[in-house]
């Protein structure tokens, strides 16, 4: 702690109705000559207020504020911003392991003779259980109830841990299963845009900010709330009162102009933006939207764009508060006083945007005309790979070297659509595309079209409000007729929980070695993520998902070829049944109002009778069950010492894996099915768990024994140490047998051999998946060397004590001629490692020759260095919280 305090001379009064508030005023700093506020991007204004209000907390100083206020668009240096988010949002795949980590920290605190309840959230935390839904059944009226029942059967142990946490951890709320996904619940109900807390006896208003344990937490940026995804370990530190240190350099502006053409959807817009922004290289940048098109861009379209920020790689995708924000808050049932507060605060604080507001300064500006957007999809492996709708057949052929062919009767061909999922993330926040899907289904039904029998169809809305307006409009019956009954409320196909296909379909795919396709309205289509048997995965709007279910194959050019024939034998083209924009807008305006949201969100945290019947322990420390296959005490504090051991050099290391470009966190730590013959499957079978009850890797994340066996177990992983082999295999050297990655790592550990991973560009793309870093550590990997890293995974590696190192431009595993026969030394780690420093890698060839290579240390901030040198975030946090000084200033 330092002696500074947030300056009271920056406080100003704000009257809203009959309520009086104070706020820490940025315009007051401008009046004092400390900043030219108009030139700062809005997202930096939010960060500036955050730093100003927290001066004196966790060593935040006036100098931190001055550096931020002095930010320049052309500044070459990175600024470290200590950011104290107002709250934390979690989903259960990452959130329940986070609760297990907190329980382990409580055990650690007790072992040190301190009160375990010292480990408690210092800021509000919401956990939404939304990722455990598996679409076991679909396409019939009973699917919803069946899938929810199976969810409770599979996950009772996990849910009991969550219920324990609600009574043991003050400030934590849990949204039970069956309510929707965290992002949509966040924008529709939890987010306030402006929050209020008591400080020094007065009510202080400040911007609502957050971090989330899901990479798509950026969705909330669309309503003017600054937030992004972090790893669970980083979220734990934030909820315990420590700052999230933001490395700030570039803020990229996106100037939107024009308007979407008729028949072009918000999904087409976001897929096109994703392609453009990836090419514009916004990784690690803050992105902010401005321009004349904002005056016509609905908030539901903005949140769709903001949701996809991880797909273009930016930290955030921020839309400033304006009149459209207030309209959305009113529609979703926020109280009038809260809406008035948002308006008054944003205007008083310089956070309000309207048509006359000049654009701030940006490091770079991407000009984007909405009029240029055309109907499209993205795939077949990455969300940034946009494809014009008519070019899908050619894209398939180029991607797989096979010609997609229409299936005939029961016999499948390459390109057959075996999964068509209107899934929760991204699009079901947006009534325009959901109503479009329903209207297209109605028109298709009227013409006698049906989904092809080999297509598994499902609808998993992100909010119960979606089901309400589809039901009220009568469109749900039309979707039902085509097999799109509601199968659950939660993340499903987008997160890999698509469930099994029909056994005959699975048999045909296997026997014919077919390249089957999945179409979905989500945001992720990485290899083996959506379904292990669907090798071609295309993202698209909900109405196009329905259209491809009718077509049954990606072999058709939907712009020019018919979907099928009607009762009279006439061809039916997509253009014949595509809904009119005015019809969609009129329907939305007539259906959706505040009462619909208020009724669906009443009792959000109460849950069903099944949830209420779950019994949970009532005690300060969680009672671990050593025989549990779901919940095990995490091992990260097993070797804890009060004083950290200095980082040791790496000597005689071997390569565990050598990987190519765009290795995703799904490749590193898959989320879906556990194969019977995989190391994790063998572990479960040895403990009497039947394959029917394996559940998914994502639901087993609180058992490190299973998850370490699942690390690098993705069936589409291609490890260059075993060319021509797909799956989680590697070569143990120097003797050379091919083993599973886990078995090889175990053998290396028995020999005392440290391990490295070498990779290409964009290592760690994808979800903010802690286990991609946790599993890497537990396999014995000391460092990852890549050509470039994705932001969240790079941070997660550091949080687990794994060193991220980057090749210099022009140097790759190929230019070095690496083949796995080498051994490696990295020296001077205790003395030389610093943010942005260079470390030397010594390569010892099998022929006895040596070669030295300089690598950039991708520890980017002083805070990251401190955490890495402490052995990771958990020992770092425990040491800090075990001190006598309070972790956070009084609030």
Q: For the domain that residue 431 is a member of, what is the CATH number?
A: 3.30.499.10
3 state SS for 836-882: CCEEEEEEECCCCCEEEEEEEECCCCHHHHHHHHCCCHHHHHHHHHC
| pLDDT tens by residue, 184-230 | 999 999 999 999 999 888 999 999 999 999 999 999 999 999 999 99
List C-alpha distances in Å: 614 to 160, 164, 699.
Answer: 7, 10, 18
DSSP string, 12-40: EEEEETTEEEEEE-HHHHHHTTS--GGGS
Rg (CA), the chain: 26
Question: Using CA atoms, how far apart are residues 571 and 321, in angstroms rounded to an integer?
Answer: 47
Largest CA distance in the chain: 83
d(CA 547, CA 279): 29
Q: Predicted confidence band at 3 (pLDDT cuts at 50, 70, 90)?
A: low
Distance CA 485, CA 253 (A): 41
pTM: 0.91
Q: What is the pLDDT of residue 832?
A: 83
**What is the predicted pLDDT for the residue at 479?**
98
Same domain for 340 and 290, yes or no, is yes
The DSSP annotation for 521-590 comes to SSS---TTTS-TTEEEEEE--HHHHHHHHHH-BTTS-TTTS-SEE-TTS-EE-HHHHPPPHHHHHHHHHH
Cα–chain center distance at 144: 25
CA atoms of 272 and 120, how far apart (whole Å): 43
List beta partners, residue 368: 256
The terminus-to-terminus CA distance of the chain in angstroms comes to: 14
Upstream peptide bond of 424 is cis (omega within 30 degrees of 0):
no
Q: Calculate ∠ Cα 564-566-570, nearest 5°.
A: 85
Which letter, b or e, does each residue of 228-249 get, where b requires 16 or more Cβ atoms within 10 Å of its Cβ? bbbbbbbbbbbbbbbbbbbbbe
pLDDT cut 70: percent of the chain above it: 98
Higher pLDDT, 575 or 424: 575
Q: What is the DSSP letter of 46?
A: H
pLDDT > 90? residue 364: yes
Look at residue 246 and tell me if it is in a domain: yes
Q: What is the pLDDT of residue 284?
A: 87
- Residue-wise pLDDT tens digits, 434-457: 999 999 999 999 999 999 999 999
Quick one: pLDDT at residue 231? 85
Number of helices (H) and strands (E) in the chain: give both, helices first: 31, 32
Give me the mean pLDDT over the 402-430 stretch.
87
Q: 346, 374, 402 — which closes off a domain?
A: 374
Q: Measured between alpha carbons, how far is 396 from 379 in angstroms, rounded to an integer?
A: 9
Instruction: Dig out the tokens for 317 from the structure.
Output: 């995708």
DSSP sequence for 574-632: HHHHPPPHHHHHHHHHHH--HHHHHHHHTTTTT--HHHHH-----SSS----TT-SS--
Are 382 and 369 within one domain? Answer: no
**Rounded distance, CA 741 to CA 753, Å?**
14
- Per-residue b/e over 332-352, b at no fewer than 16 CB within 10 Å? bbbeeebbebbbbbbebbbbb
Tokens 């690690």, residue?
284
pLDDT one-digit tens code per residue, 773-792: 999 999 999 999 999 998 88
Judge whether 611 lies within some domain: no
The CATH number covering residue 736 comes to 3.20.19.10
Cα–Cα dist 190/368, whole Å: 31
Residue 789 forms beta bridges with which residues? Answer: 763
The Cβ-side half-sphere exposure at 417, using a 13 Å CA radius, reads 28
Same structural domain for residues 451 and 305?
A: no
pLDDT of 49 > 90? The answer is: yes
Burial (CB < 10 A; 0-12, 13-18, 19+), residue 182, is buried
Q: Domain for residue 502, yes or no?
A: yes
Q: In whole angstroms, give the CA distance from residue 633 to residue 702.
A: 8
Q: Are residues 390 and 448 in the same domain?
A: yes
pLDDT per residue as tens digits for the range 447-487? 999 999 999 999 999 999 999 999 999 999 999 999 999 99
Query: In this structure, are strands 286-290 and 316-318 parallel, antiparallel, or unpaired?
Result: parallel
Report the distance separating Cα 329 and Cα 342, nearest Å.
10
Is the pLDDT score of 554 beyond 80?
yes
**Domain endpoint, select from 348, 374, 400:** 374
Helices (H), ranges, 246-401: 266-279, 299-307, 309-312, 323-331, 336-349, 392-400
CA distances from 122 to 48, 236, 302, 454 (A): 21, 10, 31, 51
Rounded Cα distance, 484 and 754, in Å: 50
Does residue 50 sit in helix, strand or coil? helix
Q: Please state, in angstroms and rounded to a whole number, the distance separating the CA atoms of residues 785 and 758.
A: 5
- Which residues lie across from 80 on neighbouring strands? 247
- The label of the residue with tokens 């609905």 reads 298
Which of the four pLDDT bands, split at 50, 70 and 90, describes residue 2?
low
Q: How far apart are CA 665 and CA 714, in angstroms?
A: 10
Helix/strand/coil for 718: strand
State which H helix or E strand residue 276 sits in: helix 266-279
Residue at 630 is within a domain:
no
Residue 539 and residue 421 share a domain: yes
The three-point CA angle 590-592-594 to 5° equals 125
Q: What 3-state DSSP class applies to 418? A: strand
Q: How far apart are CA 52 and CA 63, in angstroms?
A: 10
Length of the chain equals: 891
Q: Phi then psi for 227, rounded to 5 degrees?
A: -170, 160
The total number of structural domains that make up the chain:
3
Same domain, 541 and 664: no
Element (H, E) at 832: helix 829-832
Predicted confidence at residue 162, as pLDDT, reads 96
Contacting residues for 86 by C-beta, under 8 A, at least 6 apart: 123, 124, 195, 206, 207, 208, 209, 210
For 313, the token pair is 């790689």
405 and 363 housed in the same domain = no
Domain containing 682 equals 650-828+837-880
Does residue 886 register a pLDDT over 50?
no
Is the separation of the CB atoms in 105 and 155 below 8 Å? no
- Residue ending a domain, among 344, 374, 404, is 374
Residue 1 pLDDT > 90? no
- Percent of the chain at pLDDT > 90 equals 85
Domain assignment present for residue 789? The answer is: yes
pLDDT at position 695, please?
86
What's residue 410's pLDDT? Answer: 77
Angle (nearest 5°) at CA 766 between 698 and 762: 140
Instruction: Look up residue 56 and give its two tokens.
Output: 């004196």
User: Can you give the three-state secondary structure of 682-713, one letter per residue?
Assistant: HHHHHCCCCHHHCCEHHHHCCCHHHHHHHCCC
Q: What integer is the mean pLDDT of 520-542?
A: 91
Question: How far is it, in rounded angstroms, from Cα 473 to Cα 461?
Answer: 16
Quickly state the pLDDT bin for 70 (edges 50, 70, 90). Answer: very high
Q: Are residues 801 and 754 in the same domain?
A: yes
Q: What is the pLDDT of residues 587-638, one digit of tens each?
A: 999 999 999 999 999 999 998 999 999 999 999 999 999 999 999 999 999 9
Residues 385 and 524 in one domain: yes
CA–CA separation, 773 vs 786, rounded Å? 14
Provide the strand spans (E) within 129-221: 172-175, 194-199, 202-207, 209-212
DSSP assignment letter at 765: B
Residue keyed to tokens 């028995």: 750
**794, pLDDT greater than 50:** yes
Which tokens hold the place of 391? 């070019």
Q: Give the model's confidence band at 170: pLDDT under 50 very low, under 70 low, under 90 confident, else very high.
A: very high
445, burial (CB in 10 Å: exposed 0-12, middle 13-18, buried 19+)? middle
Q: Compute the mean pLDDT over every residue in the chain, rounded to the nearest whole number.
A: 93
pLDDT at 888 over 80: no
Residue 886 in domain: no
Compute the average pLDDT of residues 146-169: 94
Q: Which residue has the higher pLDDT, 698 or 188?
A: 188
Six-digit token pair at 573?
A: 């083209």
Residues 695 and 546 in one domain: no
d(CA 569, CA 586): 32
Residue 483 in any domain: the answer is yes
Q: Quick one: pLDDT at residue 9?
A: 86
Same domain, 448 and 554: yes
- DSSP state for residue 155 in the 8-state scheme: H
Taking only the tens place, the pLDDT of each residue in 234-263 is 899 999 999 999 999 999 999 999 999 999
For the segment 368-415, what is each residue's pLDDT rounded down to a tens digit?
999 999 999 999 999 999 999 999 999 999 999 999 999 877 799 999
> 707-733: per-residue pLDDT in tens?
999 999 998 999 999 999 999 999 999
Identify whether residues 427 and 568 lie together within a single domain: yes
pLDDT digits (tens, 9 = 90+) for 484-521: 999 999 888 877 889 999 999 999 999 999 999 999 99
What one-character DSSP code corresponds to residue 108?
H
Q: Round to whole Å and give the CA distance between 604 and 489.
A: 13
Q: Is the pLDDT of residue 863 over 80?
A: yes
Are the CB atoms for 258 and 822 separated by under 8 Å? no
> How far from the centroid of its chain's Cα atoms is residue 270's Cα?
16
Inside any domain, residue 150: no
């Amino acid at each position: 702690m330092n002696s500074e305090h947030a300056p009271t001379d920056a406080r100003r009064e704000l009257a809203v109705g009959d309520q009086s508030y104070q706020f820490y005023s940025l315009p007051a700093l401008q009046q004092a000559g400390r900043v030219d506020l108009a030139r700062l991007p809005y997202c930096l204004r939010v960060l500036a207020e955050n730093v100003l209000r927290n001066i004196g907390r966790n060593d935040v100083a006036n100098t931190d504020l001055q550096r931020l206020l002095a930010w320049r668009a052309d500044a070459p240096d990175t600024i470290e911003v200590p950011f104290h988010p107002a709250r934390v949002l979690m989903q259960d795949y990452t959130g329940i392991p986070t609760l297990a980590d907190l329980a382990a920290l409580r055990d650690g605190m007790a072992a040190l003779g301190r009160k375990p309840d010292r480990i408690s959230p210092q800021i509000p935390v919401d956990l939404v259980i939304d990722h455990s839904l598996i679409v076991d059944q679909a396409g019939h009226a009973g699917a919803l109830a069946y899938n929810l029942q199976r969810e409770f059967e599979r996950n009772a142990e996990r849910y009991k841990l969550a219920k324990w946490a609600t009574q043991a951890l003050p400030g934590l709320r849990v949204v039970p299963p069956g309510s929707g996904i965290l992002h949509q619940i966040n924008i529709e109900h939890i987010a306030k845009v402006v929050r209020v807390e008591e400080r020094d006896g007065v009510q202080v208003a400040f911007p609502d900010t957050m971090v989330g344990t899901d990479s798509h937490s950026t969705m909330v940026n669309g309503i003017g709330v600054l937030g992004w995804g972090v790893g669970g370990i980083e979220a734990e530190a934030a909820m315990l009162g420590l700052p999230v240190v933001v490395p700030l350099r570039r803020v990229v502006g996106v100037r939107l102009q024009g308007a979407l053409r008729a028949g072009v959807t918000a999904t087409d817009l976001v897929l096109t933006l994703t392609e453009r922004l990836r090419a514009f290289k916004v990784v690690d940048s803050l992105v902010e939207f401005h321009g004349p098109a904002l005056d016509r861009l609905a908030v539901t379209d903005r949140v769709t764009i903001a949701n996809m920020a991880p797909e273009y790689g930016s930290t955030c995708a921020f839309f400033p508060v304006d009149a459209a924000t207030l309209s959305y808050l009113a529609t979703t049932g926020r109280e009038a006083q809260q809406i008035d507060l948002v308006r008054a605060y944003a205007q008083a604080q310089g956070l309000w945007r309207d048509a006359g507001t000049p654009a701030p300064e940006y490091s770079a500006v991407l000009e984007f005309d909405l009029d240029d957007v055309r109907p499209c999809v993205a795939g077949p492996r990455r969300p940034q790979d946009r494809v014009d709708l008519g070019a899908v057949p050619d894209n398939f052929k180029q991607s797989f070297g096979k010609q997609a062919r229409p299936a005939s009767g029961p016999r499948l061909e390459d390109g057959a659509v075996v999964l068509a999922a209107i899934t929760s993330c991204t699009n079901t926040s947006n009534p325009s595309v959901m109503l479009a899907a329903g209207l297209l289904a109605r028109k298709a039904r009227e013409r006698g079209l049906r989904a092809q029998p080999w297509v598994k169809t499902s609808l998993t809305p992100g909010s119960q409000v979606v089901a309400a307006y589809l039901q009220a409009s009568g469109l749900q019956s039309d979707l039902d007729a085509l097999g799109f009954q509601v199968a659950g409320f939660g993340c499903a196909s987008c997160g890999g929980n698509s469930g099994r296909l029909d056994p005959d379909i699975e048999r045909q795919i296997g026997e014919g070695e077919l390249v089957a396709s999945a179409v979905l309205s989500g945001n992720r289509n990485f290899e083996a993520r959506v379904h292990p048997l669907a090798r071609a995965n295309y993202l698209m709007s909900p109405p196009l998902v329905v259209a491809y279910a009718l077509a049954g194959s990606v072999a058709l050019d939907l712009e020019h070829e018919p979907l099928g024939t009607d009762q009279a034998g006439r061809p039916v083209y997509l253009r014949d049944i595509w809904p009119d924009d005015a019809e969609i807008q009129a329907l939305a305006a007539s259906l959706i109002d505040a009462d619909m949201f208020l009724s669906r969100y009443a009792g959000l945290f109460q849950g069903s009778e099944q949830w209420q019947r779950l019994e949970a322990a009532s005690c300060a420390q969680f009672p671990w069950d050593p025989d549990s296959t779901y919940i095990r005490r995490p091992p990260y504090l097993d070797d804890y010492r009060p004083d950290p051991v200095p980082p040791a050099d790496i000597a005689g290391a071997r390569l565990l894996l050598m990987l190519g470009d765009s290795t995703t966190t799904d490749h590193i730590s898959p989320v879906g099915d556990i194969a019977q013959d995989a190391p994790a499957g063998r572990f479960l079978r040895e403990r009497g768990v039947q394959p029917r009850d394996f559940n998914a890797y994502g639901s087993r994340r609180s058992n490190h024994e299973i998850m370490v066996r699942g690390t690098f177990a993705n069936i589409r992983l291609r490890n260059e140490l075993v060319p021509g082999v797909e799956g989680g295999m590697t070569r143990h050297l120097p003797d050379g047998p091919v083993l599973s990655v886990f078995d090889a790592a175990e053998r290396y550990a028995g020999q005392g051999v440290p391990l490295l991973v070498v990779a290409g560009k964009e290592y760690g793309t994808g979800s903010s998946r802690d286990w991609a870093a946790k599993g890497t550590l537990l396999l014995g990997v000391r460092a990852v060397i890549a050509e470039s890293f994705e932001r969240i995974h790079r941070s997660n590696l550091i949080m687990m004590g794994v060193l991220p190192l980057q090749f210099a431009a022009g140097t790759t595993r190929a230019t070095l001629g690496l083949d796995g026969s080498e051994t490696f030394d990295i020296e001077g780690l205790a003395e030389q490692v610093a943010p942005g420093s260079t470390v030397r890698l010594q390569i010892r060839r099998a022929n006895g020759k040596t070669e030295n290579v300089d690598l950039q240390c991708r520890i980017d901030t002083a805070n990251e260095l401190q955490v890495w040198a402490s052995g990771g975030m958990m020992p770092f946090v425990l040491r800090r919280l075990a001190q006598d000084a309070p972790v956070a200033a009084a609030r």
